[in-house]
Structure 1
Amino acid sequence: MKIIVTSIFVEDHDKALEFYSDTLGFVKKEDTAAGEFRWITLVSPDEQEGTELLLEPNIHPAAKEYQERLFEEGIPATMFGVEDIHKEYKRLKEKGVRFTMEPTEMDEVTIAVFDDTCCNLIQIAQRK
């Protein structure tokens, strides 16, 4: 068994797609109609056959509340791995990304947290 798709709740597909592709650098893999919504997935440019990130509409009240509560409590919705966290932090800051936590060492990893502009906090991590 392996993870093939993971999702993150978003309110606005177009805004999320722009942020995750243009700002973060993920590659759009699928963008198809799914009833009144869209099935949009992105992948890492380095692993285009790897795990897909689904931009999931937060239309269900429980999904919306879950997303809002995580954000209010400062809990990241997901984590992405990076090879050089300081380089990535600088690159994203230059693109206007707002960080809620600068790169911080925690035992065997260094982490940082940013706001994805779609009501989610995202953690990036570099293993030592």
Structure 2
Amino acid sequence: MRIDLASVLVDDQEKALRFYTEVLGFVKKQDIPMGGARWLTVVSPQAPDGPELVLEPSGHPAVKPFKEALVADGIPYTSFTVDDVKAEYDRLRGLGVRFVQEPTDMGAVSTAVLDDTCGNLIQLHQTA
């Protein structure tokens, strides 16, 4: 068993695609029209055949209160591994990304948390 897909619920798929590709640096893998939405995935450029992140439309009525509760409590929706949290923080801040948590050393892991502009907090983490 292995993970091939994970998803993040986004308020606007086109806006999310721009943020996740042009800002975070992922690469679009699939973009298939599905009625009013799209099957839209991105991958890491370091692993183009690796797990895909689905930019899932957040149209279901349960999604808005769920996402609002996570953000209000400062809970990231998901986490991405980076080689150097501080360097990635500096790079993304230079691109105008808003962070709700600056790089923080927690012993075995360092983390930072950003706002993905699509209704989610996303954690970046680096293992020691």
- TM bucket by the smaller chain? over 0.9
Residue of structure 2 in register with 1:4 after alignment:
4
SS at match of 1:61: coil
Residue of structure 2 in register with 1:31 after alignment:
31
Amino acid in the other structure paired with 1:92: L
In structure 1, distance between residues paired with 2:51 and 2:67: 21
Write the mapping of 1:43-54 to structure 2, written as runs, cut at 5 A. 43-54=43-54
In structure 1, distance between residues paired with 2:63 and 2:118: 13
Give RMSD over aligned pairs: 0.7
Residue of structure 1 in register with 2:106 after alignment:
106
The runs of 5 or more residues in structure 1 that have no matched partner are: none
Write the mapping of 1:53-68 to structure 2, written as runs, cut at 5 A. 53-68=53-68
Normalising by structure 2, we get a TM-score of 0.97
SS at match of 1:96: coil
In structure 1, distance between residues paired with 2:36 and 2:15: 17
The CA deviation at 1:63 is 1.7
Amino acid in the other structure paired with 1:81: T
In structure 2, distance between residues paired with 1:46 and 1:96: 24
Q: Percent identity?
A: 52
Is it true that 1:83 corresponds to 2:80 in the alignment? Answer: no
The CA deviation at 1:35 is 2.3
The CA deviation at 1:23 is 0.2
Normalising by structure 1, we get a TM-score of 0.97
Amino acid in the other structure paired with 1:94: G
In structure 2, distance between residues paired with 1:94 and 1:35: 37
